[in-house]
A and B are shown apart, each in its own frame.
Chain A
């Protein structure tokens, strides 16, 4: 069974630009969550999508957005990039029916903002 895949793995952007990251969950998983990992703030929850609807949202500004497609693939977008957006962005998938809540993580996309 293929794991969670994220593309691209590495990305370099400049301030003010926007970026789109992609995540393909494990087959059959309907929930996709996104996390930001930085040395200073650690792992922080961005949002979660389930059946194409945002179900949970963390405390990030509106520049961070996402969506989920009918095949459960998800994208997150960051507009007007700031230096502080440099981070490892991790995507996680799970079945989405609650209770157990085991999340399976992808390898991440390393975003560098110059």
Chain B
């Protein structure tokens, strides 16, 4: 079955530091890949996505590239801010009609200190 392995947290960084959160996946076929973010007391928000190999998703300064050869989708940001403190989830889904299920990683809690 499908699975997502995500970098263990928590991660604590100083403001303006470089961020990488690793994510690798196992899937049959060609899944779509996502990063979701969860702020305290809220549901999940889609941060970025990539639907095919070599696609780069980007949003709010975050980027991730769909690497089929290494089955990875690592999240990066060049300069983090205090407001980026949240829990980040890597996820995948099959790209088939009739299967809207998302498979999530365990989540990485990120704390940015001023």
Query: B-contacting residues of A (Cβ < 8 Å)?
Result: 4, 6, 31, 33, 35, 42-43, 45, 48, 50, 55-56, 58, 90, 92, 94, 96-108
Residues from chain A with a CB closer than 8 A to the CB of B44 are 90, 92, 105
In the complex, the answer to whether B46 meets A103 with C-beta atoms within 8 Å is yes
Q: Mark the stretch among B18-26, B60-68, B69-77, B99-107 that contacts chain A.
A: B99-107
CB distance from A62 to the nearest CB of B (A): 19
| Chain A residue at minimum C-beta to C-beta distance from B44 | A105
Q: Interface readout for B24-56 with A: 1 if CB under 8 Å, 0 if not? A: 000000001010100001111110010100000
Residues from chain A with a CB closer than 8 A to the CB of B45 are 105
In the complex, the answer to whether B100 meets A101 with C-beta atoms within 8 Å is yes
Q: Is B89 located at the chain interface by the 8 A CB criterion? A: yes
- Could you say which interface size class chain B belongs to? 20 to 34
| A-B pairs with beta carbons under 8 Å apart, 28 shown | A6-B43, A31-B100, A33-B101, A42-B104, A42-B105, A43-B89, A43-B104, A45-B101, A45-B102, A48-B101, A50-B100, A58-B101, A96-B100, A98-B95, A98-B96, A98-B100, A99-B51, A100-B32, A100-B95, A101-B93, A101-B95, A101-B100, A102-B46, A103-B102, A104-B46, A105-B36, A105-B44, A107-B41
Report how far A84 CA is from B44 CA in the complex, Å: 22
- Given A101-B32, A107-B42, A33:B107 Cβ within 8 A: no
- Given A98-B97, A103-B102, A42:B43 Cβ within 8 A: no
A-B complex: 3 closest residue pairs judged by Cβ atoms:
A98-B97, A105-B43, A43-B104
The contact of A33 among B49, B51, B102, by CB within 8 Å, is B102
- Given A97-B97, A107-B43, A102:B104 Cβ within 8 A: no
- Given A42-B107, A43-B89, A98:B43 Cβ within 8 A: no
